[in-house]
């Protein structure tokens, strides 16, 4: 028996032996409600305490489910239910029709791997937790028109189709590429691509491989696979693992594709709206976590850092970090902070690293630097050995070591720093922005040593600058920052 709170499956079967076999495989994982008719399942749905995570179909004849009232009801009224068809032999034409009518989401041929079914159902259950679904069917667009990108190594056919589509409508632009590699370049230049339709068989990267990459890098782009070859295994894999929107057989028909692309654009707007809602909710929830993390960092660093310098440096350092804009919070970030030891480990490991660095730093303030030559030499030594080997560091050595670490993390050379003599000392500024893809106050799912080293280097830059009686200014940007230091000349 499945445990309380397990995902629920509505099983629609034709053969009682198939039902028994399915229940033997999955009864310990899921709550299963089995029905031999569509009507029985339809009668159950309104009274169900919980909407099932998935509908699993075990047909004698898969063709019969093209007219399934159960699948039509699920499509129209319960779009978040995952619809899985498991059959003995699924013809490509049938798969295309089922997808085109949005009657199934996954399709498998027997014998099926039970672990694959478990994975899909559990993923669907986790994905819909805390989510709401509201399809966006509006036709209004703000800004540039969305674009359809057609990828095929037969440019003549693609150009002809593009001209036809452009004459038939004024709702979207049509772009083309002759390879997956060229398509990736198009996507880098045009941020308004909403739909990608690609041929499967092309030189180099195949169409499914391109769509698999887009699923990760551009999750709101609607993906369509097309082919003149009847490769049902490729189509099934693209549906089940690639989560494509449609499988479109060749030869192309412009009128059919126009209808398909209009549906795909509606799907794109729905995905964008869902992403924006999810981001907004996650950002609001992460704001509270960020405040708690900041408070814990202050608690663990104030005495250690501010006590060492005699100045409130930790708060200034965290304020500077807050100006660096990183990628928005997502549900996985929230889960990592709430359900793992991430928050505890972050504060512990960072405070420990900072403590070890402070233990090598000579205490006490030193008013300024001797001259530019002394700075140049200390910086050259640090760039040659960014890890540092000295058991004891002067404030100037620590400052240059921190600069070297930050520059190395951004792949920058010495030329990325601008040094300017002033009447009162030396100005040091970053000519190029320093990359900072994440930081202590940003959403993260795991800790990494490079992250901790970069963050501790920035804090040590604050510490060493103040010990030299200097000033530091940090200006944050999109996943980057710029530095400006003023180091006074020492009065001999």
Among residues 443, 389, 382, 426, the alpha carbon closest in space to that of 407 is found at 382
CB atoms within 10 A of CB 31: 19
For residue 201, what pLDDT is reported? Answer: 87
- Per-residue DSSP letter, 478: B
Which residues, in sequence order, are CB contacts of 340 under 8 Å at separation 6+? none
Distance CA 335, CA 305 (A): 31
Distance CA 86, CA 27 (A): 17
The residue written with tokens 């049902």 in the block is: 232
- Per-residue DSSP letter, 200: S
Is the CB of residue 118 less than 8 Å from the CB of residue 29? yes
Distance CA 402, CA 456 (A): 8
Among residues 282, 259, 239, 309, the alpha carbon closest in space to that of 85 is found at 239
Give, for all 492 residues of the chain, the pLDDT tens digit: 556 578 899 999 999 999 999 999 999 989 999 999 999 999 999 988 889 999 999 998 888 788 899 999 999 999 889 999 998 888 888 888 888 888 999 989 888 899 999 998 988 887 765 444 455 545 545 668 999 999 999 998 899 999 999 999 999 999 999 999 999 999 989 989 999 999 988 888 989 899 989 988 899 999 999 887 767 777 787 777 768 898 888 888 899 999 999 999 999 999 998 888 877 888 889 999 999 999 999 999 999 999 999 889 999 999 999 999 998 888 889 999 999 999 999 999 999 999 999 999 987 777 778 788 889 999 999 988 866 666 789 999 999 999 999 999 999 988 999 999 988 899 999 999 999 999 999 999 999 999 999 999 999 999 999 999 999 999 999 999 999 999 998 865
Among residues 338, 355, 340, the alpha carbon closest in space to that of 300 is found at 355
Residues facing 151 on adjacent strands? 177, 198
Distance CA 184, CA 227 (A): 20
The residue written with tokens 């504060």 in the block is: 347
Domains and CATH numbers, the chain: 8-127 (3.40.50.2300), 147-275 (3.40.50.2300), 311-488 (3.30.565)
Distance CA 36, CA 22 (A): 13
Is the CB of residue 465 less than 8 Å from the CB of residue 487? yes
pTM for this predicted structure? 0.56
Tokens of residue 3, six digits: 């445990």
- ∠ CA 429-431-433 to the nearest 5 degrees? 100
Strands ordered across the beta sheet of 106-109: 31-35, 8-13, 54-58, 82-87, 106-109
User: Within 323-480, where are the H helices?
Assistant: 331-339, 342-358, 372-384, 395-409, 449-467
Strands ordered across the beta sheet of 147-151: 173-177, 147-151, 193-199, 222-227, 246-249
Query: Would the CA dihedral through 242, 247, 253, 254 be positive or negative?
Result: negative
Question: What phi-psi label fits residue 481: left (phi over 0), alpha (psi between -120 and 50 degrees) or beta?
Answer: beta
For residue 31, what pLDDT is reported? Answer: 93
Among residues 48, 84, 100, 77, the alpha carbon closest in space to that of 256 is found at 100
Is the CB of residue 398 less than 8 Å from the CB of residue 463? yes
Distance CA 177, CA 184 (A): 9
For residue 23, what pLDDT is reported? Answer: 94
Tokens of residue 217, six digits: 């890098």
């Amino acid at each position: 028996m499945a445990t309380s709170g397990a995902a629920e499956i509505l099983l629609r079967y034709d053969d009682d032996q198939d039902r028994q076999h399915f229940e033997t495989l999955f009864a310990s994982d899921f709550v299963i409600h089995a029905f031999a008719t569509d009507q029985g399942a339809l009668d159950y749905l309104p009274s169900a305490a919980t909407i099932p995570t998935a509908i699993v179909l075990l047909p004698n004849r898969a063709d019969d489910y093209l007219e399934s009232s159960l699948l039509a009801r699920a499509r129209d009224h319960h779009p978040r239910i995952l619809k899985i068809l498991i059959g003995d032999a699924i013809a490509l034409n049938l798969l295309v029709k089922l997808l085109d009518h949005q009657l199934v989401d996954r399709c498998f041929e027997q014998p099926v791997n039970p672990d694959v079914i478990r994975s899909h159902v559990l993923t669907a259950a986790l994905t819909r937790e805390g989510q709401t679904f509201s399809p966006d069917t509006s036709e209004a667009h703000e800004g540039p028109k969305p674009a359809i990108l057609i990828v095929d190594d037969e440019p003549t056919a693609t150009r002809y189709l593009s001209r036809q589509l452009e004459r038939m409508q004024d709702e979207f632009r049509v772009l083309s590429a002759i390879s997956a590699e060229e398509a990736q370049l198009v996507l880098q230049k045009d941020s308004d691509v909403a739909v990608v339709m690609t041929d499967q068989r092309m030189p180099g990267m195949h169409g499914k491989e391109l769509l698999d990459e887009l699923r990760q890098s551009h999750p709101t782009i609607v993906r369509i696979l097309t082919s003149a070859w009847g490769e049902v295994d490729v189509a099934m894999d693209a549906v089940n693992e690639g989560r494509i929107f449609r499988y479109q057989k060749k030869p192309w028909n412009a009128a059919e594709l126009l209808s398909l692309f209009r549906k795909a654009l509606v799907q794109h707007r729905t995905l964008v709206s869902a992403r924006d809602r999810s981001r907004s909710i996650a950002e609001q929830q992460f704001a509270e976590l960020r405040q708690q993390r900041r408070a814990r960092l202050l608690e663990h660093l104030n005495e250690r850092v501010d006590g060492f310098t005699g100045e409130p440096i930790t708060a200034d350092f965290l304020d500077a970090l807050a100006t660096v804009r990183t990628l928005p919070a997502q549900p996985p970030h929230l889960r990592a902070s709430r359900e793992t030891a991430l928050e505890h480990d972050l504060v512990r490991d960072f405070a420990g690293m900072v403590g070890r660095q402070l233990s090598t730093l000579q205490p006490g303030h030193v008013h300024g630097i001797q001259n530019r030559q002394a700075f140049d030499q200390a910086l050259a030594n640090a760039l040659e050995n960014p890890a540092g080997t000295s058991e004891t560091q002067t404030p100037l050595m620590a400052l240059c070591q921190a600069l070297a670490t930050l520059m190395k993390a951004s792949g920058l050379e010495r030329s990325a720093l601008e040094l300017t003599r002033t009447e009162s000392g030396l100005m040091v500024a970053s000519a190029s922005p320093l990359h900072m893809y994440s930081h202590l106050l940003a959403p993260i799912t795991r800790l990494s040593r490079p992250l901790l080293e970069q963050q501790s280097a920035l804090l040590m830059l604050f510490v060493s600058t103040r010990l030299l009686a200097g000033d530091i200014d940090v200006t944050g940007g999109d996943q980057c920052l710029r530095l400006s230091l003023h180091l006074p000349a020492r009065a001999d």
